[in-house]
Amino acid sequence: MSEHLTCEVLVVGSGPGGYVAAIRAGQLGLDTILVEDGKLGGTCLIRGCIPSKALIEAAEKYEQAITNAKGSSEIGLSADSPILDFKKTIAWKDGITEKLSSGVAGLLKAAGVRVVSGWAVFENAKTCLVGDDKITATNVILATGSKSVALKGLPFSKNGKGPVISSTEALDLSEVPKKLVVVGAGYIGMELGIAYRKLGAEVTFIEAAKTILPGFDKQLSAPVSKWLRDHDVDVQTNSFAQSVSAKGGTHTLTYTDKDGKDVKLSCHKVLVTVGRIPNTQGWGLENMAIDMVPENNGIFIKVDDKCRTAMRGVYAIGDLVGEPMLAHKASAQGEMVAEIIAGKKRSFQPAAIPAVCFTDPEIVSVGVTPAEAKDKGLAFTQGKFRWAANGRALTTGTAEGGGFVRILALKDTGRIIGIQAVGRHISELSGEFVLAIEMNATLQDIAGTIHAHPTLSEATMEAALSALGHPIHSV
């Protein structure tokens, strides 16, 4: 029997933007309904951020075990040859996502949010159908996220059973492919490609740009390039994947190399990671009288600094509204919108949003880079501290690879405008980096803050001292 539900806030999508918005709205006493077609948690928790980091961690442990088995451990460890039960690895990964998804369900329940399972299709801006049920809301928060981009000549195989897969299927393989081709050497492709190399796959990258990780400057990507060379990973830049053919149980990828020649490459799986686009199709967006951003072929929903769309009482957050398409941006917007609906004065004007790439080594970028500062005509100074000079990095065996922390600050005031870093486990410092910029910290503030010894965080202090012209543990 169909129902007609009403609420003050309707949230569509339970990713890191949607579920945070729903929880906060519930906490503020707003009658809230959340609609989700799949598992609670969305792409990030179920098919992206969390499962990929679990796979990366498993790959790291397996590589360390292989190193110990070869007797090449620098700290004198040796062990029998490890055996990888990949199905068990995937099951462990799935256990983590299930636990977190259940946790989201518990948080929503505690906040008094009603969860409706199914696909929402809007009849108009404030009313949608979910199966036979109708939901009418005073306020709507659109949080439908994004999906992987497919290439014309490389359509994704149905159910991930064929040769061409997206990042979603790459996290659910039943076995490690012997030969893996990754089309796209951005952060998603690099993270998964490196993980599968550690798990024993032969990996080749096909990248259309001139360099890997085109979103990061060369200083930051250089240590990752070194890791790829040291681990016999083939990287073809200025190259374009064309098609995949199958014959006799094997697959062949054809790509055009930098010289314009067609090259054929034998492989078992082709992982396409050339970007993501917002989920704007199939749920009635065309019935909501909402404006789209003219740029980027109009794929993003146009919002103001409060995430309000052109339709009163309809908000859009996260990947739907443009770059950066990051989970933590979506969460911040979701919380903000819930508070705006509750009557609080808020706007989305972050000083910086951290970008983290979980490669080996990891990369963090917050604020402006040297190139961006020059383009803006800013007079700045910068300081750098090498990861190899950090005591904690040395004692944990993570100092190799050319990592560093780099700080940029305005010359006249010393206010920090950008921090970039590359190094193993450097992602754990991203909070300190973005907090420094958000709080308008100066070089003197960071240099004068006593950092615990020995910790990785000392590298931030040392970089600030370097920018001030009197480094202590570097020359």
Catalytic (active-site) positions: 453
CA angle 461–464–470, rounded 5-degree value: 105
Residue 425, burial from CB neighbour count under 10 angstroms (0-12, 13-18, 19+): middle
Q: Where are the beta strands (DSSP E) in 257-415?
A: 262-267, 269-272, 276-278, 314-316, 355-357, 362-367, 380-386, 404-410
Residue type, 18: G
Report residue 23 as tokens: 């929880």
The β-bridge partners of 271 are 165, 182
Q: Please, how many CA atoms are within 13 Å of residue 321, restricted to the half-sphere of its CB?
A: 25
**Nearest alpha carbon to residue 462 among 425, 424, 421:** 421
Query: Residue 244: left if φ>0, alpha if ψ -120 to 50, beta else—which one?
Result: beta
Length of the chain: 475
Helix (H, G, I), strand (E, B) or coil at 120: strand
| Spatial distance between the Cα atoms of 10 and 19, rounded to a whole number of angstroms | 11
Query: Residue 172: left if φ>0, alpha if ψ -120 to 50, beta else—which one?
Result: alpha
| Spatial distance between the Cα atoms of 408 and 368, rounded to a whole number of angstroms | 8
